[in-house]
Chain A
Amino acid sequence: MTIPSLAAPLSEGSEGAVEPITATVTAADAGGYFPLMWLLIALPVIGAVVLLIGGRRTNRWGHLLATVLPIGSFVVACLLLVQMMGAPVDERLVTLHLWDWTFAGMFEAPFALRLDQLSMVFVMLITGVGSLIHVYSIGYMAHDPDRRKFFAYLNLFVAAMLLLVLADNYLLLYVGWEGVGLASYLLIGFWQQRDTAAVAAKKAFVMNRVGDVGLSVAIMLMFITFGSVTFDQVFEAAPQAGDTALTLIGLTLLLAAVGKSAQFPLQAWLLDAMEGPTPVSALIHAATMVTAGVYLIVRSNAIFDLSTTAVTFVLAVGIVTMLAGAVIACAKDDIKKSLAGSTMSQIGYMFVAAGLGPAGYVFAIFHLLMHGMFKADLFLSAGSVIHGMKDEQDMRFYGALRKVMIVTMVAFFAGFLGISGIPPFDSFFSKDEIIKAAMGTNIFAGIAALAAAGITAFYMTRMLAMTFFGEKRWKEGTEPHESPAVMTVPMLLLSVGALFGGVFFLYVADIEVWLEPITGYQPTEPAIPEPWLGILTLVIVAVGILLAWRQYAMRTVPQQPPQQVSVLTVAARNSLYDDAFNEAVFMRPGQYLTRWLVWFDNRAVDGAVRGLASKIDGFGEGLRKIQNGFARSYALSMVGGAVLVGAVFVVARWF
């Protein structure tokens, strides 16, 4: 295992420009475990297929099988990781061509996998966190009659997500992209008998489809520009493409990412997506799927590096969502919705980082990894609370749970430390790096990121205080209890990640060195000298924590949300009116349009045809009158006809 020192590759890259790796190694050449990388996807697929086709027969052991298989993928992933770390840097990009998939004329998209440093990170996150959440779900879903289906969908999700990050071309990525969308749809709407769940699921899928339009168009643009949609060929040819093409590709990819990652302006579905079971919120709507947008942008860095416009849009989207999500998280009383707002905000951070270009890509991924751990931990802890509180999600009916759910509180607290940026835990490193990089590249982004750090600390403290501290505000008949070990152990394992992942990945695993061959890395000097910036960040975080503590732990929290509040709070409670906007601008006009169209089709289009038919009918009716039954009038018309024919002949002869 040779990890080169930090200085070596950086000195070679002139001004941080990305040097895409062109030397790809086929899995067969690489040998070892690489030819087996298809197993990563195949294992969970088997689970999903067996459980869905097997039906009730698998009820007894289905969930166990479905848990073992992702763990199997995780083992394969570990073996691959070890082998990849042992390989020299320029032999770490391995491709595995499985079969010819879609081709027509010059277009070609093989079913091929590509494992490199970036996808490796994701594979570890997906299989690792995924496996833990499978284990946790055994406990969480124990009493659900449809547990088997739940696990089948979870396996389907893991498979699709792995395909998404392992695809070696954009079209195959699209399959994973919509595959996770489908799994997300199925899982949000898992409790289908609830109308709200069904509506939320549909909303998520449709809004994701808006983003998918972007991905479709991006792929088509790539084809007419580069003649290929394979990562290698696109990235290699990117510098020769025209500015317009690159900008358009960048913007359409951004649209796709915005849809999948619930960023502004396609963010409205994520809060509703919390209708799904909590493990789903943890895995799909926090740790993995919603970060696919970040993956897409970082993966396509060769294109974004070449288009200032596109990258600026990424930054703008990131800043808006980072702040909006944080504000929403502060006002929601539903613990999961508050966490969902936080997810939006944290992904906004990642978009900001990705929007900074080579200075930020590695930290976008770093923060993504950290977020995957601490947010999954937070959601699982929240799930444990909900489980213990008889499915109550309103934090105004929580309080003082530290006494009865000590393990859950420890895990939640670990997540709190991880997200809030308190040294020396996860976000302290990842978020600080983003703030530093932002300060060095774009001062507005830096200030916004600083502000968001303060708000993050505020809403996390609010959640912590309202749930575990203060007075009891439980509804009658609620008897909170600690969750079983099958749930708490995964929580605790994730807590360890939430606490120490940052140190590990930044200082032990050297993530920026690991990712540099794929994403490029160009450190920047922040506008404010580094130690001062660090201190400033800490001060802002501390202020956030103290304000929230004073408000929600020192004072009593009313069970009814107070009504005399600022305009901003009201707006935040309504998720900044995104639903109202969508309803007014898209839904209502759409309903009128479809209604009008149905009318138009019946009356105008079909009516024209029917009108023609009745005209012909009337014409025939008229003709009928000529048939009067008088033989002599028939004879007259015969003679007339004969004379006419004769006349025509005569006239024709003249001319």
Chain B
Amino acid sequence: MGILTILGLVPLIGSLVVAVAGTPPTRAKQIAVVFAAATLAIAGYAITQFDTAASEPFQLVESYEWIPSLGLSYSVGVDGLALVLVFLATLLVPLVIIAGWNDVEDTAQLPTSEGQPVGEVRGYFALVLLLETMMIGVFISLDVFLFYFLFEAILIPVYFMIGRYGTGRRTYAAVKFLIYSLVGGLVMLAALAMLWFVSADALGAPSLYLPDLLDVDIDPTLQNLMFWGFFLAFAIKAPLWPVHTWLPDAAGSATPGTAVLLIGVLDKIGTYGMLRLCLPLFPEASQTFAPVIIAVSVIGIFYGALAAIGQTDMKRLFGYVSLSHFGFITLGIFVFTTQGQIGSGLYMLGHGLSTALLFMVAGYLIARRKSANIEDYGGVVKPAPVLAGMFLIAGLTALALPGLSTFVSEFLVLLGAFARYPWVAAGATIGIVFAALYVLLLYQRTMTGPETDQVKGMKDLNGRERWVLAPIIALVVFLGFYPAPVLNILSPAIDNTMQWTGTTDPPTELTPAAEGSPS
């Protein structure tokens, strides 16, 4: 058994153990933390085993037959992009467990529209670990069917995490999320079936093993159909404008921990899928439809930002902020430049961390005041200065302040876009002004100003809460000033993607001044 399989299995075992032995609640939490930390350690070891200079695109590959008559296999392996996302997932899960130590109990005190009580504590943590297995699985699968299988299976734990452990209109939100995702999955299944037949035709025997499929030349018309099949599923998952409306509801109803995993990691499967499957498998179709997708992305950037400014619920606001950020990520992917795609890769990591900060801090705040309504706050900085400070830092990561990792990625995305579509990128840059507005307006309304009666006596963050946020903040700052480790890991993966899609970076007007001559 290879390291990646072990990585995927550990949280699954943990999930079972928590489900079986998870009473009283404290023990469930402790077991969950231990398993999540072990997974993180294994992921760390896997990263050390990864060689950035290797020539083959996928490393740590394991491949076993699954359903040989259908050509389906259990194949896992990682490239830089997958590795970065696996790291993100395994890092956030233990932090979410610690940060959400009392999420279930706290949520039970918040109003729901249904009479049904919140589920058991051990169930929640078992679901979190189950979700971790599936997330890791999606990122490491090299067989498209395995990818699809987990892509769909992941809906099950999330459905229960929102529907059973959420607040407000949680069932509505969970069902909406489920149906949206299922529609996407269904279209993807159709495309997958087509892909299966195409591979059977081209390779002699059917196979959905990704490295095999990369060599297949697909007829352009079929490519277009299959591209939309896959892309629609990913666009709903990511989500892109205009198929995003499940996101604010889900973000508003989920517990903070669920929201972190859902938006911070799970939604990356959408953008990851675009880079991993859409582009390499359907290169011509991807380029044909790039302008459409770029337009949708730019609309998303502004739409999300403006809608965020108008929200009255903090968690829904963050949902719209993410919509704006996903616009940046897809913009970077579909401009077909090294800068744009590396930027998108780094953006996925940075957005995961930023989302984690936003929802965790907001979670702490909401647990204290028992409301997610922005109007219910004001002047929090007086009673809880550390909380307010962390809130501001979280906000700054969302507005991509230089010196934080989100800036590097956002700039690279815009730069990559600029190299191909200057006017589009220049327009999208105006998005940074709106980013400042939605973050600072929120901060001003909730944290500054005279202390209101409602927040008087609010407790500041305790040690556990501070120490969960600290590593994320440290990582965001570290990667803001020294993103080289991640960039080095991402570069070969993106170079391969560029090569598979047959695209090259546009030349600059002049060669760098070292040569000093016009091109």
Contact = CB atoms under 8 A, between A and B. Distances in A.
B484 A99 contact: yes
A10 interface: no
B511 interface: yes
Contacts of B429: 213, 216-217, 220
A240 B444 contact: no
Nearest to A595: B310
B contact residues, range: 35 or more
A101 interface: yes
B484 A171 contact: no
Given A175-B402, A224-B419, A232-B513, A102 B337 contact: no
Given A206-B436, A206-B440, A192 B448 contact: yes
A234 B386 CA distance: 43
Nearest to A203: B440
Given A101-B483, A228-B513, A236-B513, A597 B303 contact: yes
A105 interface: yes
Contacts of A100: 484
Contact of A107 (B339, B381, B401, B516): B339
A202 B392 CA distance: 12
A509 interface: no
A221 B513 CA distance: 15
Given A216-B429, A598-B310, A598-B311, A609 B245 contact: yes
A192 B447 CA distance: 8
Contacts of B379: 192-193
A177 interface: yes
A223 interface: yes
A432 interface: no
A230 B208 CA distance: 46
A236 B422 CA distance: 23
Contacts of B386: 55
B343 interface: yes
Nearest to B504: A105
A241 B518 CA distance: 8
A198 to B, nearest CB: 4
Nearest to B340: A104
Contacts of B179: 613
B334 interface: no
A189 interface: yes
B203 interface: no
A157 B67 CA distance: 62
Given A206-B440, A216-B432, A179 B402 contact: yes
B510 A241 contact: yes
A202 B444 contact: yes
B307 A598 contact: yes
Contact of B436 (A106, A205, A223, A233): A205
A106 B505 contact: yes
Given A182-B396, A182-B401, A102 B411 contact: yes
Given A223-B508, A598-B307, A189 B517 contact: no
A91 interface: no
A202 B440 contact: yes
Nearest to A606: B245
Point out which of B382, B396, B430, B436 has the most chain A C-beta atoms below 10 A from its C-beta.
B436
B342 interface: yes
Nearest to B378: A195
A198 B444 contact: yes
Nearest to A232: B513
Contact of B508 (A111, A185, A202, A226): A226
A597 B432 contact: no
A500 interface: no
Contact of A237 (B432, B444, B448, B513): B513
A593 interface: yes
Contact of A225 (B425, B436, B510): B510
Contacts of A111: 481-482
A193 B451 contact: yes
Contacts of B441: 202
A271 B506 CA distance: 45
B449 A179 contact: no
Contacts of A601: 245, 303, 307
A654 interface: no
Nearest to B477: A49
A220 B415 contact: yes
A99 B382 CA distance: 40
A227 interface: yes
A598 B442 CA distance: 16
A64 interface: no
B414 to A, nearest CB: 7
Contact of B510 (A107, A226, A595): A226
A204 B266 CA distance: 36
B433 A104 contact: no
Interface in A57-102: 99-102
Interface in B433-458: 433, 435-437, 440-441, 443-444, 447-451
B344 to A, nearest CB: 11
Contact of A174 (B307, B337, B402, B487): B402
A105 B444 contact: no
A171 B411 contact: yes
A210 interface: yes
A501 to B, nearest CB: 33
Given A105-B337, A605-B242, A178 B402 contact: yes
A165 to B, nearest CB: 15
B120 to A, nearest CB: 31
Contacts of B491: 104
A241 B407 CA distance: 28
A192 B180 CA distance: 43
A209 B437 CA distance: 10
Nearest to A105: B338
Point out which of A236, A595, A598 has the most chain B C-beta atoms below 10 A from its C-beta.
A598
A649 interface: no
A22 to B, nearest CB: 9
Interface in B388-439: 389, 396, 401-403, 407-408, 411-412, 414-416, 418-419, 422, 425-426, 429-430, 432-433, 435-437
B56 to A, nearest CB: 21
A613 B175 CA distance: 12
A213 B430 contact: yes
A245 interface: yes
A275 to B, nearest CB: 12
Contacts of B416: 104
A177 B510 contact: no
Contact of B418 (A220, A240, A593): A220
Interface in A158-205: 171, 174-175, 177-179, 182, 185, 189, 192-195, 197-199, 201-202, 205
Contacts of B396: 182
Point out which of B306, B440, B511 has the most chain A C-beta atoms below 10 A from its C-beta.
B440
A598 B407 CA distance: 27
A345 B309 CA distance: 34
Contacts of B65: none
B418 A223 contact: yes
Point out which of A102, A198, A236 has the most chain B C-beta atoms below 10 A from its C-beta.
A102
A212 interface: yes
Contacts of B412: 102, 104, 107
23 contacts: A102-B411, A102-B412, A106-B512, A107-B338, A107-B339, A107-B415, A175-B407, A192-B379, A193-B451, A195-B448, A195-B450, A197-B448, A198-B448, A216-B414, A220-B418, A223-B415, A223-B508, A225-B510, A226-B513, A227-B512, A237-B513, A606-B245, A609-B245
Given A102-B411, A223-B418, 14 more contacts: A101-B482, A101-B484, A104-B494, A107-B415, A182-B401, A193-B382, A198-B448, A201-B440, A209-B433, A210-B433, A224-B419, A227-B512, A240-B510, A609-B245
Interface of A: 52, 55, 99-107, 111, 171, 174-175, 177-179, 182, 185, 189, 192-195, 197-199, 201-202, 205-206, 209-210, 212-213, 216-217, 219-221, 223-228, 232-234, 236-237, 240-242, 245, 590, 593-595, 597-598, 601, 605-606, 609, 613
